[in-house]
Structure 1
Amino acid sequence: MPDAIKKVVIAGGGTAGWMTAALLNKVLGKSVAIELVESEQIGIVGVGEATIPPIQTFNRFLGIDEKAFLRETQGTIKLAIKFENWRVPGESYYHTFGAPGTTMGFCSFHHYWLKAKEAGLDKSFWDFDLNYLACQQGKFNKINTQNPLYDMPYAYHFDSALYGQFLRRFAEQGGVKRSEGIIEHVQQNTQSGFITGLQLTDGRQVEGDLFIDCTGLSGLLIRKTLGVNYEDWSHWLPADSAQAVPSERFDKTLPYTRSIAHSYGWQWRIPLTHRNGNGIVYSSQFTTDEQANETLIGNLDTKALGEPRTIRFNTGRTDQQWCKNVVAIGLSSGFLEPLESTSIHLIQSGIIRLMKMFPNQGISPAMVDMYNAESKDEFETIRDFIILHYHVNERDDSKFWRAMREMTIPERLAQKIEAFKETAAIFNEQNDIFRDASWVQVMMGQGLSPRDYHGAVNAMDNQTLLSAMQQIQQAKMQPVAKLLGHDEFIERYTSA
C-alpha cells in the first residue's frame, strides 16, 4: 500500500480527464504532481453536450470566466428539457431547472396547486415556473435580484470536445503535465495488486501513487486490470445503442434541450451556437441500426453535417468505483444514458467526492468504502429517475413502450411512485441530485395524478388560495417581457 500520495496519474483525456486534472490542480496545487496520459489517436465519445446547473459551481471554483467559456465551447443557455411523446404521442411537458410557484407554507407548492386545480384553477403547474415561461418565448437574461420568486436556474449546452480542450489549456497553464501516448501495459505490485505505472507503446513508463481511470467505456484500469465487476442494469434500461450526428444550426437557438420519444427509444436535439447536436438512443432488442438511422436522419430540422456514428453501451455501474489505488471517473465508472444530462455531472461529483476524501497520507479502506457507498447511492438514484420516464407511460403503439410499462422496477422507485400517487408526497435520498420539483414535474408530466394532497393546504380557503395563485402567476410573468431573446443574450454577453 502506498504511503503519502505524491503523484496522481490520470489515464485518458476528454471531458472526464481534463475536468479531473483541472480540479485536482486547483485544490492540491503544487503539493501533488499531476500527469495526464492521452492519445490523439483514441476517439472521444463526446455525446454529453447538455448539463445541469451544478456545472456553474464547478466552473466558478476553477475561476473560469463564463463569457470566455461560452465563446470557447460554442455554448448556449439551457433552462429545461422538453419531453415530447413520452406519455403519449403528440403530448409534451417540460422538466425545468426551476421550482414552480413559491414557498406558501408547511408543504411544497404542488400541494397547493393540486387543491387550487380542484377549486377551478385553469393554469397548468408549469405556468407558475419562470424557466418554462422563458422557454415558451425563447428568452433568457440574468435577473439581478435576491427574490427567490424570480430565481431562474440554468445550465449550458456546449461542445464537450471543445470543453475538454478548454480545460486542457487551463490545466496545463496551471502546471499539469500531459503525456501523449497509448497505454500498452498496466504495471501492478505483485503482492498488493496496486497499480504502480503505465507502460506506453513507445516504451516510456509513467509511474504514480494514485491512478484515475478516465479511459471511457473500456475501463482499462478499474475493470480490465483490477477485474472489478460491472453491474448490468439493462433489464431496467434496455437501450444499448446510440447514433450521433451534428447538423447545421437553427436560425433561432432554443434555450432548452429537446427529448423526442420514438417507438423504440428517443432522440435528442441540443442547440449550440455553431451547430446542433443530434442523436438517437435505442434498444437493439426492438429495432435495427438501419431503422434508427432512418428515424434520426428523417427527423433532423437542419441539414446533417456528416454521417451518424454509432456508440454501443451497456447501462450499469462499476461495482467499486474506487478499488485499491484506482478511482474510476466518467464512463469507466458506469453508463447512464444522457436522458437527464447527468453524464458530465457524474464526472464532476466523482472528482469532488475524491477531493473531499483525498488520501493525503495513504489510502484508507474506510474512505474507500465511504466513497463507494456514496457513488452507488448517487448512481442508483439517477438510474431510478431515468427509469421513471420510461416506466410511467401510456403509450400502446409499440412493444418497447409496453415492455417498459410492464417491467418490474426497483423497490425504492416503486415506493416513491406509490407515495406520490396516494398523497403527492416526495421522499428524497441523501445523494439525490434532483430536487423535489424535478420529481414532481416528471411524475405529473408522465401522467401521474395524486389522489390526495397534504392536509396543511386546507388551512387556506378556496377563494384565498385562488387569489394567491393568481398573484403568483402574475408575478412570475412580470420579468418575462424584459428578458432578451436567447440569441441576443448570447451575442451581447459573449462579446462584452
Structure 2
Amino acid sequence: MQAMDVKDIVIVGGGTAGWMSAAGMSRLLGNKKINIRIIESEAIGTIGVGEATVPHIQYFNRLLGIDENNFIKQTNATFKYGIEFVDWHKIGQSYFHSFGPYGMDMEGIHFHHMWLRQQKTGTAKPIDEFNLQIQAAKVGKYAPARPDLKGSPLSALSYAYQFDAALYAAFLRNFSEKNGVTRTEGKIVKVTQAANTGHIESVTLEDGECIKGDLFIDCSGFKGLLIEETLKTGYEDWSHYLPCDSAVTRLSERMTELPPYTRATAKPAGWQWRIPLQSRTGNGYVYSSQFLTDQDALDSLSQDLDTAPISDARQLRFTTGIRKQPWNKNVVAIGLASGFLEPLESTSIHLIQTAIARLMTNFPDMSFNQPDIDFYNERTKTEYVQIRDFLILHYKATTRNDSPFWNYVREMSIPESLQKRIAIYKENARLYSEDKGLFNHSSWFAVFNGQGIHPQRYHPIANFLDEQEMKRRMEEIHTVTQKCLSIMPSHEAFLAKLP
C-alpha cells in the first residue's frame, strides 16, 4: 500500500444503510488490506428505510454474487413490477407507474407519441394495454425477463423486490462478516476530532473502547451523529415542496393473493402504502402533521388495512431534504444521515446503493482531495433533486380540493427545473432523461398521463408514418402484449416453484 492509502474504515450505525455499505465495500475492497469495522447498538435499533425497491437493486445483489432464489427466501421477498397510485389525480381514479416500457419505440421517437396521435382521433386503446407489466400486475401474474426473445415484450420485463428490510440487513451482515468485516456492539459516547483539520480521529464507546479510523461512514440515521452533531454540516430543507413530515407504520397479516406491486393510496393529509411480503404486509400512512394529528393518522391507517394487524404502531418524524455536504472532511453520510425523500417511489434503498457506488468511484486517500469531495457532493445533490422533482409532480398535478393538504400542494410553488419539464410536456409531450437520472421517459409519462396532464400536441415525426401502417403496428404490439400475458404464471405460482 502507499503511505497515503486509507487503511481503516469505520461505519457508524447498522441497519440497511450500514450493512449495505459494509457488504459493498468488503466486496470491492476486501482484498486491498483495508480494515472495515461497523459499530451498531441493538439498544438503539434501526428505523428502516422501507421494504419496496426499484430494479437497480438487482445490480447490487449481483455485485455481491447473491443467489436470487436464496435472497428471496431469506428476506420473505416478493417481486414488484411497479406502483399503483390510487386517488392521486382525483378520488376514484388510479394509475400504474410500471418499471417496464409502453409498447415499442418507432421511427426514432418514443411510443407514447404514436399513442397520443391515435388518441387525438379517438381510436387509441387504453395506454395500459400496451404495457405488459401493468397488465400482469393487474391480474397477479409474474415472470422474469427473457432477454433471448429479442423484440418481445417479455424481453423488456423489469422488476424489483418487496422484502423485509430487517431480514435484508441480517442477510448482508452475514455476507459482510464472512468477507472480513468486524462488528462491534456498543453506543458511541464521544467523538474526537483532529485539532488542525477537524477530521474525525476516533469514536469512544460506553465501555471506554476507543476506535480510530481514517474514513468514517455515517449511517446513524436522521440523527447524523458524525455528519451533523459533530461536524455541523447543515441541512437543506425541502419541506415546502414535500410537506409530509410524519409516518405511522403497522404490520398486518399476509395477503391471500400476493400482488406483484406496491400500492400508494392518497388520503386527506398524505398517502398510505401497502407492501405485500410472503410473511406479512407492510403498511404506513405518510402525512403532514400540519394537517393531521398522530392519533387520527393511526386511526385512518388501522381502518384501511387490507388484513388484520399483527403489530403495534410505530411513529416516525422526518424532514425532507439533503445534507449541505453529504461528504464532509473524512465523513461520508449514507442513508438517512445524508438526506431523506419520502418513500413514495421506493427510492431510499436505491440512494444508499448509488452513494456506495459513487464513493467507490471517488474513493479517497489520506489527502481527502477537496475537488473529489465536491464532485461527489454535486452528483449526490443532482440525484436527490431529480428524484425530488419526480415526487413533487405526484402532488402538484392533482385536481383534488377535498382537504387543506391537497389545496396546499396543488397551489404551492415548485422548483424551476420541474416547471420547465411540465411546460415542455404540456406543449408537445417531449420527455427527457437527464444526466442518467433514475426515472426514464416511461416513468415520467406514466405520472404525467396518470395525473391528468395532457399535451396539446405530440412529436411531429409521429405524423410521418402512414395511418394504415401505424394502425397495423399498434394492433400488432397490442396483440403480442396480450399473448405474452396469457402465458405468464401467477405471482403465487412462480414464488411457490422457486427452488
Q: 2:100 aligns with which of 74, 98, 101?
A: 98
What does residue range 19-418 of structure 1 map to in structure 2 within 5 Å?
A: 19-31=20-32, 32-144=34-146, 145-148=148-151, 149-150=153-154, 151-360=156-365, 362-418=367-423
Quote the residue 2:4 is aligned against.
3
| SS in structure 2 of the partner of residue 320 of structure 1 | coil
Partner SS state of residue 497, structure 2: helix
8 Å contact kept, 1:121–1:466? no
Greater mean deviation of Cα atoms: 42-51 or 329-338 = 42-51
How far apart are the structure 2 equivalents of 1:225 and 1:121?
A: 62
1:479 to 463, 481, 484: 484
Q: Deviations over 1:208-260 (max 9, x none)?
A: 10000000000000011000010101111110000011000011000000000
Q: Which runs of 5+ in 2 are unaligned?
A: none
Partner Cα separation in structure 2 for residue 216 and residue 143 of structure 1:
35
* Equivalent residues of 2:233, 2:323 under 8 A apart: yes
For 2:27, the aligned partner's letter is K
| Cα drift, residue 119 of structure 1 | 2.8
- 1:122 and 1:30 map into 2 onto residues whose CA distance is 57
Q: State whether residues 188 and 194 of structure 1, in contact with CA within 8 Å, keep that contact through their aligned partners in structure 2.
A: yes
**For the Cα contact (< 8 Å) 1:374–1:431, is it kept in 2?**
no
Deviation at 1:385, TM superposition (A): 0.4
Which residue, 419, 422, 438 being the options, matches 2:427?
A: 422
CA distance in 2, matches of 1:223, 1:147: 50
Q: Check whether the contact 1:5–1:362 (CA below 8 A) recurs between aligned residues.
A: no
Partner residue, 1:453: 458
What SS does the aligned partner of 1:175 have? coil
Cα offset for 1:190?
1.1
Matches of 2:412 and 2:144 in 1, distance apart? 43
What amino acid maps onto 2:306 in structure 1?
D
Contact 2:432 2:440 in 1 (8 A): no
Worse-matched range after superposition: 452-461 or 344-353: 452-461
Offset at 1:361? 5.5
Distance 1:331 1:47 in 2: 8
SS in 2 for 1:139: coil
**How far did residue 464 of structure 1 move?**
1.9
RMSD: 1.1
What is the number of residues matched between the two proteins?
Answer: 493
Kept in 1: contact 2:142–2:490 (CA 8 A): yes
In 2, the alpha carbon distance for the partners of 1:147 and 1:361 equals: 48
What's the offset of the Cα at 1:146? Answer: 4.0
Q: Which residue of 1 aligns with 2:14?
A: 13
TM-score by length of structure 2 reads: 0.97
Give deviations 1:150-186, integer Å, cap 9, x for gaps.
2110000000010000000000011100001101111
> Secondary structure at the residue paired with 1:140?
coil
- Counterparts of 2:108 and 2:133, CA distance in 1: 24
Contact 2:191–2:202 (Cα < 8 Å) also in 1:
yes
Q: How far apart are 1:103 and its partner, in Å?
A: 1.9
Q: Is the 8 A contact 2:241 2:412 kept in 1?
A: yes
Instruction: Return the alpha-carbon distance in structure 2 between the equivalents of residues 388 and 219 of structure 1.
Output: 29
Quick one: distance in 2 between partners of 1:491 and 1:61?
Answer: 26
Question: Is the CA contact (8 Å cut-off) linking 1:381 and 1:431 kept in structure 2?
Answer: no
How far apart are 1:29 and its partner, in Å? Answer: 1.3
Which is worse superposed, 422-431 or 401-410?
422-431
Give, in angstroms, the shift of residue 307 of structure 1: 1.6
C-alpha separation between the residues in 2 aligned to 1:360 and 1:183? 25
**1:124-147 deviations in Å (ceiling 9; x for gaps):** 222111110111110011243342
Unaligned runs of 5+ in 1: none
2: CA distance, partners of 1:24 / 1:332? 18
Residues 289-310 of structure 1: per-residue CA shift (max 9 Å, x gap): 1111111000001110122110
Cα gap change, 1:418 to 1:95, in 2 (>3 Å): same
Moved more, 456-465 or 246-255: 456-465
Counterpart Cα distance in 1 of 2:109 and 2:143: 30
State, as a whole percentage, how many aligned pairs show the same letter: 47
Amino acid across the alignment from 1:444: N
**356-365 or 93-102, which deviates more:** 356-365
With over 3 angstroms needed to count, the CA separation of the structure-2 counterparts of 1:480 and 1:342, relative to structure 1, is same
Structure 1 residue 117: Cα displacement: 1.4
Q: 1:40 and 1:361 mapped to 2: Cα distance?
A: 32
Q: Is the 8 Å Cα contact of residues 130 and 478 (structure 2) preserved in structure 1?
A: yes
User: In 2, Cα distance between the equivalents of 1:99 and 1:22?
Assistant: 32
Secondary structure at the counterpart of residue 198 of structure 1? strand
Alpha-carbon separation, structure 2, partners of 1:90 and 1:3: 61
Give the secondary structure class of the aligned counterpart of 2:37: strand
How far off its partner does 1:47 sit?
A: 4.2
